[in-house]
Amino acid sequence: MSVPNPDGVKSILATDCGSTTTKAILIERKGDEYRLIVRGEAPTTVESPFEDVTKGVLNAVREVEELAGRKILMGETIMTPAKDGEGVDLYVSTSSAGGGLQMMVFGVVKTMTAESAQRAALGAGAIVMDVIASNDGRLPYQKIKRIRQLRPDMILLSGGIDGGTTAHVAELAELLSAADPKARLGAGYLLPVIYAGNKDARQIVRDRLERKTALVITDNLRPVLERENLGPARTQIHDLFMEHVMAHAPGYKKLMEWTLVPIMPTPAAVGRIIETIAREEGIQAIGVDIGGATTDVFSVFQGVFNRTVSANLGMSYSISNVLAETGIDNIMRWVPFRVEDKDIRNRIKNKMIRPTTIPQSLEELMIEQGIAREALRLAFEQHKSLAVGLKGVQQERTISDTFDQTASGETLVSLRDLNMLVGSGGVLSHAPRRQQAALMLIDAFVPECVTHLAVDSIFMMPQLGVLSTVHPKAATEVFKKDCLIHLGTCIAPVGTAKENAECVKVKLEREKGGSEEVSVGFGHMKVLLLGVGESGRVVINPSKGFDVGAGHGKTFETKVEGGVVGLIIDCRGRRPFLLPLSAEERVRKLNEWNKALNVYPERK
Amino acid sequence: MAHAYTPGVTVTARTRLVRERRLPLAGTVLAKVGDEVKAEQVVARTELPGNVQTVNVANILSVLPEDIEGTLTKSVGASLEEGDIFAMSRSFFGLFKSKCKSPTKGTLESISNITGQAILREPPIPVEVHAYVDGKVIEAMEKEGVKVETECSFLQGIFGIGGETWGEIKLLVSKSGEPLDEKSLDAACSGKIVVGGSRVDNSFLVKAVSAGVRGVVVGGIDDKDLRQFLGYDLGVAITGSEEKGISVIITEGFGEMRMAEKTFSLLRSLEGRKASMSGVTQIRAGVMRPEVIVSMDGRVSPSGQKGSVFSALGLEVGSAIRVIREPHFGRLGRVVDLPPELGVLETEAKVRVLEVEFEDGTKTILPRANVEMIEG
């Protein structure tokens, strides 16, 4: 099958096979523009007795058929191209089911080639299970044991600049050969290994690995110290993902035959969309996608794109790991009512073993959203620490930059400079009230000064990401008109004081007319209405000791965009942002803030 | 939507199952098609390559990597005992000798003239695969293993720990709602798979291990107790490799959970029979749930009926279901309506719902995601 001419495409079906849910969207051309028509979803069918991902896809598509009143399926397949109003012209899909793409990366120096290799793998949408470097402090037998234990889907081997010493690369290849690693899925095939290191060591690597692995050789991802060349390695990762990993996952062979373009790993697709927004709008942006098994954070600061994945932070399969990593106290601090530790622990474990269930009662929802805050917070912490000194794809560096690289310890992520924070993933996109998504994002990311907030309306960034590779016009139009739900703008003065002390005065002049001025004391939150599509100018006067972007106590004036929540003034303090220590006081404050933002309905 | 696909666990008095018994690496298959095998019987055997140790010969002997071949006193492929000298160099007119000793028993696998390292491989690790269930070999996969078929009673749990084991079923409670009490453990429990009702705690499990109990099947466990027993907080539900000396299967979930009556009565009817059980759980792609298998061994199933493994098309009006999330967690009922339109929950979420009639005749609306199908 070939990709149809974009001009002739009138209907598009795109699916995302997540680890928990399979989501399908139908896009149609209405006049000159592409719009989202309907969305359907169904549980991902990797569990017995189905064990075939296409069943979940078909179920999701059936829901789309019912909602759209349009026939798309012919028996158990998707009809392409469309004919007489039935079927679709283009079908694309992403996937993170089956645990996504799991990789190990190798490099000579941990902070140089190994880090570049890690970036190449992360950018391609992989979960990096471990980074093995010549100087990582582990003994050879420990590294070998680790390689044998982990059973990755694929290995990326890098090391050395072109023309440099080959000895260290040989050592890595020997380690790998001695470990004789096996692939995770399917015992009958060789583990794919991509070599993207010193070109002079290619024959050495071939001699050691060609017989034991499915070796692919590509351009060095760090040909010289000052420059990365991650593109070829990423392309190889995508190709091998399709060829080896997807082909061995239950039902994927069939799915691959249906799609007109290669199935893309979900995170790679989301990254593509986030990068596009930041580039087109010229802004500093953070995107987060919280799924059932993993949480991905994407950031673009100073034009540099970074992605990290927290492999075991998620809201279903990995929910118990959030508890294990953060501790029960950190989860309890977000729950706005008294509940026993034991109760929360059991609820979390029950969600882990029955990952597709959803909160039915308000209390369950509040607990789950509390856990989400911690999953998001931990994932963001990891992102900040991994995005230290990272430079993006094919970024030119000076020698001094190279030495600065991780040694400086400074993250590229600057919350003060952040213009836009976009949330995606079930717990954010499906939150019954958008206020819930807004507050989860604020509590987890603790944005400073002035930040615009948005969520992926119905979790379709992955589908639009893959669509943008074949039909950028449709992807961009739907993204702008149907995907993003603007929540509003958060104003958060940086500083701290005693409760009720004067913190900030905000004057909002709405563009459509009318103005409003409020004063908010420390420890409180307030919302000014500024609807979707509306904008205004704000004059923010922080008290002495507080900074909103212009310096301590200095007035800051800027344009703000509205949203379904409005203009959120968050005076709960920054650097540090602390919750009351006493349980009683904490519950009182949480309820006060929830009320200020109208986050939850009244509890019965 | 006429039906929805809903996961479920199987509890059936009689079915036919095939279990694949595969080696991790090619080896020798010891059973052939048609053989009647017992659970404890070894059906395939292999040896995993031993662990690897590296020795930097060039550094130790102070020679260049390209020269290490000339220093070898044992050839590549030779067997070595721990302490054996396998490379040596002479310096200062042959007066001083530097030696490389093997840090382990094994073989000299390879040397590298680029890194100057020698790779020594420890002796192979023997691996045996048991039949796991009493049954008949229906397929032998050359060098890989066998498929064993058995006619059996079959129960899946929702979560487990520990690997495969087998033993006689022994009930330690009289009702499905009764928790396991460590006082009920005695010498007669040794080698058995014991069955409880609603809950097991850490002290029971600790005592059961010392009493020689092989497995525990029970409705629920508090997370606190699981954590105490394992010694760590379980992050993801991928289990089976725990080496605690016992396998545990939870049939309902975490907390105090009355074992489903059907599960309990089936286990009761199988008391005294030999069961195979596995706590292996993997809640990810290729989901694996823990299981108890009691082979028929030519007998009529306890209930005298022939059941079938759950293979439902999906939820339909009349389907028997169990609620798998609060607020009605664990309750059983039948689907009375599958409205096509979305329903609104207390959380204000709009989701696909169903109407269920519980066993006591009361009806309620539930999210479809929060029920699992059970056999009617």
Kindly provide the ipTM of the predicted complex, given to two decimals.
0.84
Q: Which of A271, A574, A291 is nearest to A442 (CA)?
A: A574
Examine residue B90 and state whether it is found in any structural domain, yes or no. yes
Least confident of A13-22, B185-194, B212-221: A13-22
A344 touches chain B (CB under 8 A): no
Please judge whether B349 and A359 are an interchain contact, meaning their C-beta atoms are less than 8 angstroms apart: yes
- The answer to whether B5 contacts A250, with C-beta atoms less than 8 Å apart, is no
- Mean per-residue pLDDT, B145-171: 95
Task: Mark yes or no for CB contact A360/B367 under 8 Å.
Answer: yes
Residue A187 above 80 pLDDT?
Answer: no
Domain A101-253 listed as CATH 3.40.50.12780:
no
Domain match, B156 and B99 both: no
Q: What is the pLDDT of residue B286?
A: 58
Mark whether B368 and B330 lie in a shared domain: yes
Give me the pLDDT at residue A382, please. 84
A14 falls in which pLDDT band (50, 70, 90)? very high
Q: What is the pLDDT of residue B144?
A: 84
Interface contact flag, B115 A178, Cβ < 8 Å = no
Number of domains in chain B: 3
* pLDDT tens for each residue of B93-136: 667 778 899 998 999 988 888 888 898 888 888 889 999 999 99
- B117 contacts A361? CB cut-off 8 A: no
Q: At B73, is the pLDDT very low, low, confident or very high (cuts 50, 70, 90)?
A: very high
Residue A291 in this model has a pLDDT that exceeds 90: no
> pLDDT class for A405, splitting at 50, 70, 90?
very low
Of A59, A324, A352, the CB nearest to B283: A352
Residue B301 lies inside a defined structural domain of this protein: no
Q: What is the mean pLDDT of residues A169-187?
A: 80
Give the CATH number of the domain where residue B258 resides: 3.50.30
pLDDT score recorded for residue B251: 94
Give the chain B residue nearest A171 (alpha carbons).
Answer: B115
Give chain A positions within 8 Å (CB) of B229: none
A269, A273, A276, A282: CA torsion to nearest 10: -140
A600: closest chain B residue by CA: B347
Hey, is B65 helix, strand or coil? Answer: helix
- Same domain assignment for residues B87 and B221: no
Minimal C-alpha gap between A277 and chain B (Å):
29
Cα separation, B363 vs B342, in Å, equals: 18
Give the nearest partner residue to B117 out of A174, A348, A365, using CB atoms. Answer: A174
Whether residue B274 is found in the same domain as residue B167: yes
Shared domain for B214 and B327, answered yes or no, is no
Contact A359 B347 (CB under 8 A): yes
Least confidently predicted of A112-126, A196-210, A265-279, B306-320: B306-320
Q: Which residue of B has its CA nearest to A317?
A: B236
B347·A19 Cβ contact <8 A: no
Q: What is the predicted pLDDT for the residue at B312? A: 44
**Most confident stretch, A420-434, B45-59, B310-324:** A420-434
Q: Is B328 found in the same domain as B285?
A: no
Residue B119, chain A, CB below 8 Å: the answer is yes
CA distance A270 to chain B (A): 22
Best mutation target, A344, A357, A599, A600, to test chain B (most B CBs within 10 A): A357
Q: Which pLDDT does position A242 carry in this prediction?
A: 72
pLDDT value at residue B1 = 34
Looking at residue A229, its amino acid is N
Q: Among candidates A66, A73, A8, which has minimal Cα distance to A40?
A: A66
Domain membership of residue B4 (yes or no) is no
Give strand ranges (E) for A89-157. 90-95, 101-107, 126-133, 154-157
| Any domain includes B290 | yes
Q: CA-CA distance, A242 to A234, in Å (whole number)?
A: 13
The answer to whether A144 contacts chain B (CB < 8 Å) is yes
Please state which CATH number belongs to domain A6-97: 3.30.420.40
Task: Indicate yes or no: CB of A170 within 8 angstroms of CB of B119.
Answer: no
Inform me whether the pLDDT recorded for A391 exceeds 90: no
Using a CB–CB cutoff of 8 Å, tell me whether A74 touches chain B.
Answer: no
Across the interface, whether the CB atoms of B329 and A350 are under 8 A apart is answered yes
Confidence of residue B140 (pLDDT cuts 50, 70, 90): very high
Nearest-Cα distance to chain B for A349, in Å, is 6
Contact A352 B345 (CB under 8 A): no
Q: Give the pTM.
A: 0.81
**Per the domain annotation, does B43 fall within a domain?**
no
Whether residues B82 and B157 share a domain: the answer is no
Span A22-28, average pLDDT: 94
CB contact under 8 A, B222 and A63: no
Q: Do residue B201 and residue B80 come from a single domain?
A: no
Residue B42 lies inside a defined structural domain of this protein = no
State yes or no: pLDDT of B224 exceeds 80.
Answer: yes
Q: What is the mean pLDDT of residues A244-261?
A: 80
Q: Where are the domains of chain A?
A: 6-97, 101-253, 269-596
State the smallest CA–CA distance between residue A345 and chain B in angstroms.
Answer: 6
Q: Which residues of B are less than 8 Å from A175 in CB distance?
A: 54
Count how many pairs of residues, chain A against chain B, have C-beta atoms within 8 Å.
190
Assess B141–A contact: CB distance below 8 Å, yes or no. no
For the record, the structure tokens of A337 come out as 């009512």
Q: What is the pLDDT of residues B49-68, one digit of tens each?
A: 777 788 899 999 988 988 88
Span A348-365, pLDDT tens digits: 999 999 988 999 999 999
* pLDDT grade for A390, boundaries at 50, 70 and 90: very low
Q: Which residue has the higher pLDDT, A29 or B53?
A: A29
Q: Do B233 and A323 touch (CB under 8 A)?
A: yes
**B191 and B257 inside one domain:** yes
CB contact, 8 Å: A361 with chain B?
Answer: yes
Which residue does chain B place closest to A97, by CA atoms?
B285
Is residue B234 situated within a structural domain?
yes
pLDDT at B279 over 80: yes
Ranked by mean pLDDT, which of A386-390, B17-21, B226-230, B307-311 comes out on top? B226-230
pLDDT in tens, A320-351: 999 998 999 999 999 999 999 999 999 999 99
Across-strand partners of B291? B156, B278
Collect all residues with Cβ–Cβ distance below 8 Å to A117 and sequence separation of at least 6: A105, A106, A107, A131, A156, A157, A158, A196, A221, A233
Mutate to test the interface with B, among A147, A350, A371 (most CBs of B within 10 A): A350
Across the range A2-9, mean pLDDT stands at 80
Would the pLDDT of B307 be above 50?
A: no
d(CA B354, CA B335): 7
Looking at the structure, tell me whether residues B271 and B162 fall in a common domain: yes
Q: Are B137 and B18 in contact (CB under 8 A)?
A: no
More confident of the two residues A390 and A530: A530
CA distance A51 to chain B (A): 7
Quote the Cα angle for A393-A279-A220, to 5°.
10
Residues B229-249 have a mean pLDDT of: 90
Per the structure, the complete domain to which residue B194 belongs is given by: 11-17+150-295
CA distances to A392, B127, B236 from B278, in Å:
47, 18, 18
If contacts are CB pairs under 8 Å, which of residues 12-31 in chain A contact chain B? 19
* Residues B273 and B329 both lie in one domain: no
Q: What are the pLDDT digits (tens) for A542-585?
A: 999 999 999 999 999 999 999 999 999 999 999 999 999 999 99
